[in-house]
Structure 1
Amino acid sequence: MSTPTIVLVHGFWGGAAHWAKVIPELRRRGYGDLHAVENPLTSLADDAARTQQMIKQVDGPVLLVGHSYGGAVITEAGDLPNVVGLVYVAAFAPDKGESLASIGEVVPAPGGANIAPDSDGYLWIRQDKFQESFCQDLPDEEALVMAVTQKAPLGAAYVAPVTVPAWRHKPAWYQVSTEDRMIHPDNQRRMAARMEARKVIELPAAHASLASQPVPIVDLIDEAVRDLS
């Protein structure tokens, strides 16, 4: 099989630029065909449809990489013929009928207490609590930029159930963040175990491991590509 195109899918409270440190590392390792989806975060159906539009533009195999809620998106969007694998980065991996809300209730994470809806139904992390909730292992200025530029999702995306989980049909790899305050590490381990991920790595990282630990994240992507070749 030819080297797959890497399609990166962001989560809540950020956009495609959250992959800013992963992308140069992938390029340094020779990955020439890279895409980062910019999802609207308006609903799981909208975000899966946008991701599938990008997948369908690729003439050849695709490896999907999802962070946080992006894991739910690749789970919903990834059952296309040219998708050859799924990499989860501190991510949700719902089963059929599950939502982010139902998974979060199994083992609640402390950062959830700092999320509040606005009058239009968008969910925000309080700016003064963003670093401690989302990225406590990043420098203060970097965390501040993330907090101020956060892309809030509509609440509907948080409660929407997955319909056909792609990880039941596609090989998967999973990175657990052991210091995660947005998705409890035990929830991450449980999701990784039930999907029978080919490789699970644990990093001493906060939720935004794609920003604090880009090299090990790319190591995992690299391993997935080698496994698929």
Structure 2
Amino acid sequence: MSSLKNATVVVVHGAWADGSSWEPVIRRLQNQGFSVAAAPIPLTSLSDDAAALKRTIARTEGPVIVAGHAYAGGVIGTANDERVKALVYIAALAPDEGETVAQVFYRDDPHPNAPQLAPDADGFIWMTDSGFDHAFAQNATAEQIALCKAVQRPISVKSIQEPAPAPAWKTTPVWYLLAEDDRMINPQTQRFMAERMQATIRSYAVDHTPLLTAPDKVVDIILEAAQATLS
């Protein structure tokens, strides 16, 4: 386990969130002895977000495991860095080269409880209160959902419409936590992407944001990726 303790886990938040969405996972990883860094991505375009992730990785030393939630799957797919030993997708989108996040997001039919979202006058998409309640994290506590609403950050349409570069998952080992009760990203879509990446898949009856509602399962898959690639 000692070699694992020299690693850094870089976590990347998705749309309508910030680094605090990873808080239960961060605490558990720190208790295991890992260094953890939450990459603060601006959600202004895929390339802006990729650059922010690159800056965060550059601040670390030694081997890195990169984990991304939801939209951040598109971002962690840009982590073409020799120090990145594994990618961990948590109910995350994984566009291939030339695809957009929107193309994979809308691949299958939406859940009946999925929110109807549209950009504002500035080209940013905000999550509705009912979307947080019934789709973003329907299994979260009232306290957790209230915090999500308070800290939400909108995502630019540019972020989901910019074609992805050649993805790191073609050359880096990948793990995928498939959220069977996800109301934001169709679980069928998740399975398609995970199988296309040839990921190690762990499927659970969890909602779209297991970072909050099932953090132990998220930690387990990150640890599995670390043990397989760093030991």
Scaled to the shorter chain, the TM-score interval is over 0.9
Q: Please give the root-mean-square deviation of Cα atoms over the aligned residues, in Å.
A: 1.4
- Among candidates 31, 40, 43, match of residue 28 of structure 1: 31
C-alpha deviation, 1:60, in angstroms: 1.3
* Distance (Å, rounded) in 2 between the aligned partners of 1:130 and 1:222: 28
Secondary structure in 2 aligned to 1:114? coil
**Which runs of 5 or more structure 2 residues have no equivalent in the other structure?**
none
Change (3 A) 1:223 1:112: same
* Distance (Å, rounded) in 2 between the aligned partners of 1:136 and 1:208: 9
Can you list the C-alpha shifts for 1:96-141, whole angstroms capped at 9, x where unaligned?
1111111122203236542122111110121133210201111223
C-alpha deviation, 1:164, in angstroms: 1.2
Change (3 A) 1:57 1:148: closer
Assess if the C-alpha contact under 8 Å between 2:115 and 2:128 holds in 1: no
Aligned partner letter, 1:154: S
- Residue aligning to 1:114: 116
Instruction: For 1:121-136, list aligned pairs within 5 A.
Output: 121-136=123-138
Aligned partner letter, 1:91: A
- Among candidates 156, 163, 166, match of residue 164 of structure 1: 166
- Residue aligning to 2:197: 195
- Residue aligning to 2:144: 142
Instruction: For 1:1-229, list aligned pairs within 5 A.
Output: 2-3=3-4, 4-31=7-34, 33-76=35-78, 78-110=79-111, 113-197=115-199, 199-228=200-229, 229=231
Secondary structure in 2 aligned to 1:71? helix
Can you list the C-alpha shifts for 1:68-101, whole angstroms capped at 9, x where unaligned?
111110002x111111110000001111111111
TM-score (structure 2 length as normaliser) = 0.93
Aligned length: 226
Secondary structure in 1 aligned to 2:126? strand
Assess if the C-alpha contact under 8 Å between 1:88 and 1:173 holds in 2: yes
- Of 177-186 and 53-62, more deviation after overlay is shown by 53-62
% of aligned pairs identical? Answer: 37
Assess if the C-alpha contact under 8 Å between 2:100 and 2:161 holds in 1: yes
* Distance (Å, rounded) in 1 between the aligned partners of 2:3 and 2:132: 40
* Distance (Å, rounded) in 2 between the aligned partners of 1:168 and 1:67: 19
Aligned partner letter, 2:194: A
Secondary structure in 1 aligned to 2:106? helix
Aligned partner letter, 2:13: H
C-alpha deviation, 1:145, in angstroms: 2.2
Aligned partner letter, 2:48: D
